Structure 1
Amino acid sequence: MGYKERQPGGQNKAFHHRSPVIFYQIPGAAMDRVSLLWRLRRRARRGALCMALFCMTMALLYTFCAENSIPVTDAIFGVKARTRAQPRAHTIVKAMNKYGVKYPRPAGHRPKLSGPELLCQIKEMVQITTLTPDMEPFSGLPWASQLPLHQITSDIGPFKTCAVVSSAGSLKNSGLGKEIDTHDAVIRFNAAPTTGFEKDVGSKTTVRLINSQVMASEDHHFLSSSLYSAGILVSWDPGPYSSDLREWFNKTDYPIFKQYQRYRRLHPQQPFYIIHPRMEWQLWQRIQDNMDETIQKNPPSSGLLGTVLMMSLCEVVHVYEFLPSRRKTELCHYYQRFSDAACTLGAYHPLLYEKNLVKRMNQGSDRDIYTYGRVTLPGFNKINCTHSSTPNTQSKT
């Protein structure tokens, strides 16, 4: 079989199989196109590999941050980059068990408790306890005298009416400030300010509940800000599920005790209590016992802790915007501009289940919730549990 080659003069010349091999030269433009395609293909392969490595790295970073309760922005940019809430991935957090929770759920279907039954269960099975100097291992420490001598429930109250003011973004433009300030006592949370927001959240602060992360963060200026020098301070830090105080003292989430000592040296007359971690997990158990689904193995939110605390100090408790009203928004806090639905639905804390529990215990109307974001709960001293048949499915921690 012969091959033909176009000759410059336009003539065709036949070649037989014994003819020498002819090498064709690709024109310069075509060669450039082939080279360009080859380079683009190589870059595409490199890009795909880099993207795969990036995704794997970010997945590992999110998992590490969730396990150690560290916001992802902190891990990437440092603590000072934390200007807004960074919720964890819901599915990852629910699978975690950082605090060693070992709580077998009762087998079989359990009847749904009524509101009064739930109130009695919490009253009887959640101990409102704060640290005192006689508790081990604190009794042997030189700074134990800085702790209050008595329980907070002995030192404070009783109040007739109390307001629990969440930090929810739906408080913005609510106009609830005057109503909130009519209460005998008001509890606020973490770094929630009143200055500049009085029309919506009021100006009175009786108790401020803060977590250890706020105490340790340089951004919040815990030791110097006037925000933390008014009213009664109550702090908390997630301890192990076993509620072993010695284990907790040696391994806190954030340096709560170091910051507590520093603060007390600067403000020796300031009433300042620390919640026993047992309370957090007893409350967690009540949530889990009353849900068909397995909840996050992380402590309840400050909002629910503060609500139960005020129920032990007050005759009537009004909780504002813990259950969202018609002003429901993805804005996380009324004093910030960051939006995320997880701030309402929860990610790290079992917030969605907490809201379910509070809704069932509400003694006010659904219209109050929808219009004002207001829940009405009775104080523990007003709850009659004489004939309570609340099942004690598990012993107290």
Structure 2
Amino acid sequence: MAGYSRAYGAPMAFRHSHDAVLRFNAAPTQGYEKDVGSKTTIRVINSQVLVNPEHKFNNSALFKNVVLVAWDPAPYSVNLLKWYKKPDYNLFMPYLRYRRKNPDQPFYILHPKFVWQLWDIIQENTQEKIQPNPPSSGFIGILIMMSLCDNVNIYEYIPSIRQTDLCHYHERYYDAACTLGAYHPLLYEKLLVQRMNKGMETDLYTKGKVILPGFCTMKCSGGG
């Protein structure tokens, strides 16, 4: 079983342990253990985290002793050379500096094609034409965990009855767009995840908890 802890909205109390826990960007655990637990196995970070000095990427304990997965929103028609020369935020130099300083720590950069393949899945599963903006870190994290785990527990990605306009549990910043979406196709992501939910509706309503099967447990029938 794997746990997944969303970085936004009302925090979800961890009442049992998980084999692995994925967190996002610079979301802390210290001081919030009662609600979000303390374990971190993987941290998905967008390119802004690597370049923004306030996150202290090279020195902060948040990014130590975990698997790091970075991503940057390249254009839909991916040209790796053009992206490398002109990323949205220049994550490559901070990446190299960090790897030289921490050569034994697993640290990956997602291929932009992976991000846009997820967008294609979202578009294919909605009747509306949506803006070609990259999926959220949350949706990216869900698919990463589904590729690694037998089961994935997701907390407050789909808001429970405790929903507020609070953007992140660790910041006093309020904006409904953090839940409903402005840049990212959040609403369509959430509808798709809700359709895949194998958990109880009462848990979704009261705890914001969704259970998704890992890809290794799925059986696809081939066409004749």
Give the Cα separation in 2 of the matches to 1:167 and 1:178: 18
Q: CA deviation at 1:177?
A: 2.7
* Residue identity opposite 2:162 in structure 1: R
The equivalent position to 1:251 in structure 2, one of 86, 89, 93, is 86
Which residue matches 2:35? 200
* Residue identity opposite 2:7 in structure 1: S
Which residue matches 2:204? 369
- Equivalent residues of 1:240, 1:247 under 8 A apart: no
- Equivalent residues of 2:76, 2:132 under 8 A apart: no
Q: CA deviation at 1:280?
A: 0.5
Give the Cα separation in 2 of the matches to 1:198 and 1:168: 15
| 1:328 is aligned to 2:163 | yes
Which residue matches 1:178? 15
| 1:222 is aligned to 2:61 | no
Runs (5+) with no aligned partner, structure 2: none
* Residue identity opposite 2:4 in structure 1: V
3-state SS, counterpart of residue 310 of structure 1? helix
Whose relative contact order is higher, 1 or 2, with alpha carbons under 8 Å and at least 6 apart? 2
Q: CA deviation at 1:269?
A: 1.3
Give the structure with the higher percent helix. Answer: 1
For these two proteins, the number of residue pairs brought into alignment is 224
3-state SS, counterpart of residue 327 of structure 1? coil
- Equivalent residues of 2:22, 2:42 under 8 A apart: yes
Runs of 4+ in 1 over 6 A off after TM superposition: none
CA 1:281 to 1:322, structure 2 compared with 1: closer, same or farther past 3 Å? same
Give the Cα separation in 2 of the matches to 1:229 and 1:261: 16
Give the Cα separation in 1 of the matches to 2:9 and 2:155: 11
- Equivalent residues of 1:325, 1:372 under 8 A apart: yes
CA RMSD of aligned residues (A): 1.3
**TM-score, reference length from structure 2:** 0.97
Which residue matches 1:318? 153
- Equivalent residues of 1:325, 1:369 under 8 A apart: yes
1:155-187, CA deviations, whole angstroms, 9 ceiling, x for partnerless residues? Answer: xxxxxx11111012211xx4x2333xx110000
3-state SS, counterpart of residue 376 of structure 1? strand
Aligned runs of 1:1-397 on 2, under 5 Å?
Answer: 161-171=1-11, 174=12, 176-179=13-16, 182-387=17-222
* Residue identity opposite 1:162 in structure 2: A
1:62-86, CA deviations, whole angstroms, 9 ceiling, x for partnerless residues? Answer: xxxxxxxxxxxxxxxxxxxxxxxxx
Give the structure with the higher percent strand. Answer: 2
- Equivalent residues of 1:194, 1:202 under 8 A apart: yes
Q: Which has the larger radius of gyration?
A: 1
**TM-score, reference length from structure 1:** 0.55
Q: CA deviation at 1:220?
A: 0.6
Identity %: 56
3-state SS, counterpart of residue 171 of structure 2? coil
Q: CA deviation at 1:387?
A: 4.4
Q: CA deviation at 1:230?
A: 2.3
- Equivalent residues of 1:317, 1:378 under 8 A apart: yes
* Residue identity opposite 1:201 in structure 2: V
